[in-house]
Amino acid sequence: MKRISDVISIIFIAVAVAFFVISNSFPAGSNGAVGPAWFPRIMCVIIIILSVINLVTTTLADKELSEEERAADRQKTANIFSKDNLIVWVTVGATLVYVICIQKLGFVVSSIAYILIMNFYYKVPKISRIAAVVIPFAVTGVLYYVFTNLLHVVLPSGILI
Amino acid sequence: MLAILSNLFQPIVILSTLGGVIMGIAFGAMPGLTSTMGVCLLMPLTFGMDAAPGLLMLIGIFCGALYGGSITACLINTPGTPSAAATVLDGYPMTLRGEAARALGISTVSSFAGGIISGTVMILIARRLAMLSLSFSAPETFALAFFGLSIIASISGKNLVKGLMAGCMGILLSMIGIDNITAFTRYNFGSVFLSKGLSFIPVLVGLFALSQCFLTCEELFVERPKAKKMKNPFPSKEDMKTILPTIIRGGLTGTFIGIIPGAGGDISAFISYDMERRFSKHPEKFGTGIPEGIAAPESSNNGTTGGALIPLLTLGIPGDANTAIMLGALQMHNMTPGPSLFLTKLADVHTIFAGFMLANVFVLLLGMLGQNMFVKIVSVPKRILIPVIMVMCAVGSFSINNNFYDVLVMFIAGVIGYFLTKGGFPLSPIVLALILGQMCEGNLRRSLVMSQGGISIFYTRPICALFLVLGTAAIVWPLVKGARNYLIGRKGGRA
């Protein structure tokens, strides 16, 4: 997907430029040794060169494609943000909310709610109603037991559990 | 020997190896779930264990997943892992003839034998190779890290420039945090969390597991065909006689390919399949469901497991994404690969060697006795699995440092991984670079201090020069080959 590849190349260039600029504030090396800015700067320059090469080669490769192939590639990119791909974006959004809720509400409540909601969104009850309801509690319970009791990890408890 | 056996036969070691193999087979068997995802997700579980059982659990997952991929390859024409892609060619036609149990039996025995062959080679050469690295100083270690990073060229596939971009970005991200030489904090943007550097485990859980979940969501409602139950999967005497030479050749080929950084089970399986077909008396029968067509790729892909562990344990060079994660696990367990591992933690190393063999025995036993159980696991719909895996990603990332920010890093890495995959960028180079970046930079700068800024130190030391030449060749050769193919293509187009 050319367009996504191009956008990523541009983001890489922007990140490399930002890291290069920030490295100006690093102290210089002493007694002949190179400073902490030396290696990151080399990497930034290489990233910029490679990103430009990628932009040029994908553009050249795109020119050699037929109009239909180009249209198909554009369609593939458009599909990512289309309604057909809504399930991915809902999953991404729900996961972000879940990640935030882990800290605010606690691991147990957030995980049960997340799996339960996703099960209903993914229409799991059509396969098995029992599985749709039991799995969230069972999985969260097992994970909570393994991590807290066996591995001694204190999972976030938030305002609930 | 007795000490090794007493270490090996501790209940925790046996259980963790067995658990690893079971989970590995389950992950390998389910299309969409990869062995890398399995190793990533279950690594946090090993942190509470001692080093040997923890690593054996990961090795069990690695061995089990490579075998597990063949179950769906034979039964439903869908390779569970890329390594099982070659197994489909003869495994599924055999199943279509009503010989599913025979196909699975051959694949199980071949996977077991391939693993044992590679394990034997690993035991024979690993210590000697590790002792060679005793003479390594900063320049050699830098050259080794550089050579390790050059693997990026071979794991990038067709997208070499994109692979190099991802690798360099991984190195740049590894610079975040305290500089090893001057103790100056770089790129922390005022955050205390970033001062310690990016923890690579949440990044790799995000890149490999979470992004894979997002990608799987795209075809969440596309159900796989269901596999049927079967009886007696053990191969007959005749089949054993036919496949034995194939297994030995495949196992050795797989081990050799596994040692080469960057070449994994998928490549070795196809090479062995092709080799077997070329030297066969009846090459026309390949693809119609013959035993050699299953034995060659299966013995070869499991042969890569022991092969890949050789450079990991002896030199600290991960050959692929799985071993890159295992390198991280070794570091988390305070085990530094190389000669020191063989000098100071010899008992653990021997337990790992013996446990590797045990893992392959479990592959055989589970393959023979638990086929029907795995057939059931394969039938679990993706829509049930995805939310569970998401929760495992979150709890796994949190448990590493008990830090909520690690979960956020995992989420961000997952979204970035999704877009990078869509843009055709390989993900393994980022993880490899994130692990080897600091080692590369630190030793390069130490070498320059040793030589007072001169670069002669890199070409006057033979081992250092050798690794630098090999690393440079590994990066430059695919670039030259690509440019040549491009020019030939253009000339052909004009003509």
Task: Return d(Cα B315, Cα B148) in angstroms, integer.
Answer: 9
Q: Which pLDDT band, with edges at 50, 70 and 90, does B229 fall under?
A: low
**Does the pLDDT of residue B53 top 90, yes or no?**
no
**In this structure, is residue A20 part of a structural domain?**
yes
pLDDT tens for B2-18 read 666 676 678 888 898 99
Q: Residue B494's pLDDT is what?
A: 56
Same structural domain, A18 and A76? yes
Task: Return d(Cα B103, Cα B116) in angstroms, integer.
Answer: 20
Q: Residue B492's pLDDT is what?
A: 64
Taking the CA of residue A38 and the nearest CA in chain B, the distance in Å comes to 9
Q: Which residues make beta-bridge pairs with B185?
A: B178
Same structural domain, A89 and A40? no
Distance of CA B480 to the CA centre of its chain: 27
Domain ranges of chain B: 2-493
- Sign of the C-alpha dihedral computed for residues B161, B163, B167 and B170 taken in this order: positive
Q: Residue B185's pLDDT is what?
A: 92
pLDDT tens for B343-383 read 788 888 888 888 899 999 999 998 888 777 776 766 778 88
Residues of chain A with pLDDT under 50: none
Taking the CA of residue B163 and the nearest CA in chain A, the distance in Å comes to 10
| H-type alpha helices, B370-461 | 371-378, 382-401, 404-422, 428-450, 456-459
**In this structure, is residue A44 part of a structural domain?**
yes
**In this structure, is residue A58 part of a structural domain?**
yes
User: Does B444 contact A143 at a Cβ distance shorter than 8 Å?
Assistant: no
User: Does B184 contact A27 at a Cβ distance shorter than 8 Å?
Assistant: yes
Q: Which residues contact B271 (CB under 8 A, 6 or more apart)?
A: B253, B257, B300
Averaging pLDDT over each range in A19-23, B33-37, B229-233, which range is the top one? A19-23
User: Does A155 contact B422 at a Cβ distance shorter than 8 Å?
Assistant: no
Last residue of a domain, one of A29, A56, A81: A81
pLDDT tens for A11-20 read 999 999 999 9
**In this structure, is residue A161 part of a structural domain?**
no
Which residues in chain B have Cβ-Cβ distances shorter than 8 Å to A123?
221, 383
- Chain position carrying tokens 């070794």: B330
Q: What is the mean pLDDT of residues B185-206?
A: 86
Same structural domain, A12 and A73? yes
- Domain containing A120 equals 85-150
Q: Residue A116's pLDDT is what?
A: 95
Report the residue from A122, A131, A151 with minimal CB separation from B45: A151
Same structural domain, A12 and A44? yes
Cα-based distances in Å from A40 to B31, B289, B325: 39, 54, 24
| Interchain CB contact of B419 with A (< 8 Å) | yes
Q: Which helix (H) or strand (E) holds B335?
A: none
- The mean-pLDDT minimum among B29-33, B127-131, B329-333, B480-484 falls in B29-33
User: Does B386 contact A39 at a Cβ distance shorter than 8 Å?
Assistant: no
Which residues in chain B have Cβ-Cβ distances shorter than 8 Å to A92?
214, 415, 418
Task: Return d(Cα A122, Cα A116) in angstroms, integer.
Answer: 10
**Could you tell me the two tokens for A9?**
């190349």
Cα-based distances in Å from A39 to A20, B264, B448: 10, 31, 12
Q: What is the mean pLDDT of residues B8-29?
A: 86
Distance of CA B342 to the CA centre of its chain: 22
Q: What is the DSSP string of B470-488?
A: HHHHHHHHHHHHHHHHHHH
Same structural domain, A8 and A67? yes
Q: Residue B167's pLDDT is what?
A: 92
Q: Residue A73's pLDDT is what?
A: 80
ipTM (interface predicted TM): 0.93
Q: Which amino acid is at B42?
A: L
CB proximity under 8 Å: B 209-238 to A = 210, 213-214, 217-218, 220-221
Q: Which pLDDT band, with edges at 50, 70 and 90, does B432 fall under?
A: confident
Secondary structure letter of residue B229 according to DSSP: P
**In this structure, is residue A66 part of a structural domain?**
yes
**In this structure, is residue A55 part of a structural domain?**
yes
Task: Return d(Cα B459, Cα B137) in angstroms, integer.
Answer: 14
**In this structure, is residue A62 part of a structural domain?**
yes
| Interchain CB contact of B12 with A (< 8 Å) | no
Per DSSP, the three-state class of B380 is coil
Number of domains in chain A: 2
**In this structure, is residue A155 part of a structural domain?**
no
Q: Which residues contact B196 (CB under 8 A, 6 or more apart)?
A: B177, B178
Task: Return d(Cα A124, Cα B147) in angstroms, integer.
Answer: 48
| Interchain CB contact of B420 with A (< 8 Å) | yes
Same structural domain, A59 and A91? no
Same structural domain, A90 and A146? yes
